[in-house]
């Protein structure tokens, strides 16, 4: 690193890393390891149905509920297609989880939601492991 250069560059996935730049910084962090299942061991349709059932328990304003339901419907429809697009499913799941999070409702189901997202993220692939970080508990 050159003098005065405070940039950090990652080439690849940086999940589970902490990067701090600057002078005299102190950081305390705890990173919990997550073991993701192999994609071929996950029944994505079943896991998405479980995610829908879990999020149905969360009291949401109608506008937010519609956003969550629409995103999950898109994910489920794509999963049921002959050749599901993991990117499309990941984006739809991310929209649903982000909507619940922005509504301030993740804390109500954080443990169950995190557990439900682990197999989904495992099926989606390493790029989507970040879904679990959206609901770090």
Give the torsion sign (CA, 114, 117, 119, 121): negative
What are the residue ranges spanned by the domains of the chain?
A: 39-133
Residues 6+ apart with CB under 8 A from 87: none
Q: Give the pLDDT confidence score for residue 8 in this predicted structure.
A: 73
pTM summary value: 0.76
Q: Is residue 67 within 8 Å of residue 119, measured between CB atoms?
A: no
Q: Give the pLDDT confidence score for residue 134 in this predicted structure.
A: 83
Q: Give the pLDDT confidence score for residue 100 in this predicted structure.
A: 94
Q: What is the dihedral of CA 82, 85, 89, 90, to 10 degrees?
A: 150
- Tens of pLDDT along the chain (137 residues)? 455 666 777 666 555 566 667 777 765 544 467 899 999 999 999 999 999 999 999 999 999 999 999 999 999 999 999 899 999 999 999 999 999 999 998 888 988 999 999 999 999 999 899 898 887 65
Q: Give the pLDDT confidence score for residue 31 in this predicted structure.
A: 43
**Which backbone phi and psi does 41 adopt, to 5 degrees?**
-95, 0
């Amino acid at each position: 690193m050159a003098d005065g250069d405070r940039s950090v560059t990652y080439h690849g996935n940086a999940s589970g890393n902490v990067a701090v730049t600057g002078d005299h910084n102190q950081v305390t962090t705890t990173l919990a390891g997550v073991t993701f299942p192999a994609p071929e061991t996950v029944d994505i349709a079943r896991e998405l149905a479980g995610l829908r059932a879990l999020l149905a328990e969360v009291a949401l304003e109608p506008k937010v509920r519609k956003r969550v339901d629409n995103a999950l419907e898109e994910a489920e429809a794509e999963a049921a297609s002959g050749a599901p697009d993991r990117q499309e499913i990941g984006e739809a799941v991310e929209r649903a989880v982000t909507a619940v999070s922005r509504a301030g409702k993740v804390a109500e189901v954080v443990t169950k939601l995190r557990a439900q997202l682990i197999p989904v993220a495992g099926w989606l692939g390493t790029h989507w492991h970040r879904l679990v970080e959206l609901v770090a508990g």
